Amino acid sequence: MNRPTRTDFDTELRRHDEVLRRASGVQVRDHILDIGCGTGHTTRQAARAARSGSALGVDISAPSIERARQRAGAAKLRNITFEHVDAQIHRFPPDHFDLAISRFGTMFFDDPAAAFANIRRALRPSGRLVMMVWQARERNEWIVAIRRSLETVEAPLADASAGLNPFSLADPPAVTEILEAAGFADITFTEVCEPVYYGVDVEAALDWVRSFTCTGEALKRLDPVAAERTVRQLRETLAAHASDDGVWFNSRAWIVSARRRR
């Protein structure tokens, strides 16, 4: 496999895409909703598989949706659309989609119960939900290593509960309760053990990590000397995970599958 020359979320998660594709099992006539689609990589995959159906990607980031439209146009996909909406509250056509998918796009709902109920209403009877979410923070080497490098006596990192929490759907019993209350059944969790890709080399990986919100906020809180020391720690951490195939970190996720309850 050729190594990407730049890192973005699609290249970071390239080992996860095939897992999600297999779990989704898109059929040729399916109508698919992609939640938190970003720049549309997973939506385009779904549209290609559902060549006699359709794929709608939604995201709250207007710039991401614009790039998604451009890339779909360049790929000459005719059965794909993108909308800049909030999947928690947007009025989707009821009973319309055969399948709702998401690659790490559902963990940031303000009200998960209401959000999943809204998604359930958009699904046809027995329509499916297949989403990939992170397991607990301590099971994910990438966040553990980065936080350890960023933490200092002068400026300890704020806990994830103080802001957006990418691990909010990590607990299967809690997620099962949310989905059942939202009108889903046949809920299953399948473990995903695939690494995340951070860059072709240490400097590329450092650029990628410095683009993270948590990294930028931590470095802004430090004086120049402490910030340089922290960047040096980050570089050393990344170097310890570098190989001939780039910089990789272990990760753990769940594929959560469910069906709309009739």
Q: Is residue 115, in this structure, part of any structural domain at all?
A: yes
Q: Give pLDDT tens digits for 225-254.
A: 999 999 999 999 999 999 999 999 999 999
For position 156, what pLDDT does the model report? 57
Domain count within the chain: 1
Q: What is the pLDDT of residues 88-124, one digit of tens each?
A: 999 999 999 999 999 999 999 999 999 999 999 999 9
Give 168-215 pLDDT, tens digit per residue.
Answer: 999 999 999 999 999 999 999 999 999 999 999 999 999 999 999 889
Domain membership of residue 108 (yes or no) is: yes
CB-based burial label for 133 (10 Å; 0-12, 13-18, 19+): buried
Q: Would you state the pLDDT for residue 163?
A: 58
42 or 151: which carries more pLDDT confidence? 42
Phi, psi of 103 (to 5 degrees): -105, 95
The CATH number of residue 127's host domain is: 3.40.50.150
The predicted structure's pLDDT at residue 2 = 55
In a domain, residue 226? The reply is no
Partners of 253 in the β-ladder: 134, 192
Domain presence at residue 256? yes
pTM: 0.92
Residue 218 lies in a domain: no
Domain range spanning residue 79? 9-137+163-198+248-260
Residue at 67 is within a domain = yes
Q: Please give the mean pLDDT across all residues of the chain.
A: 93
pLDDT score of 83: 98
Q: Which residues, 6+ apart, have CB-to-CB distance to 150 below 8 Å? A: 157, 214, 215, 218, 219, 230, 233, 234
Whether pLDDT at 162 is above 50: no
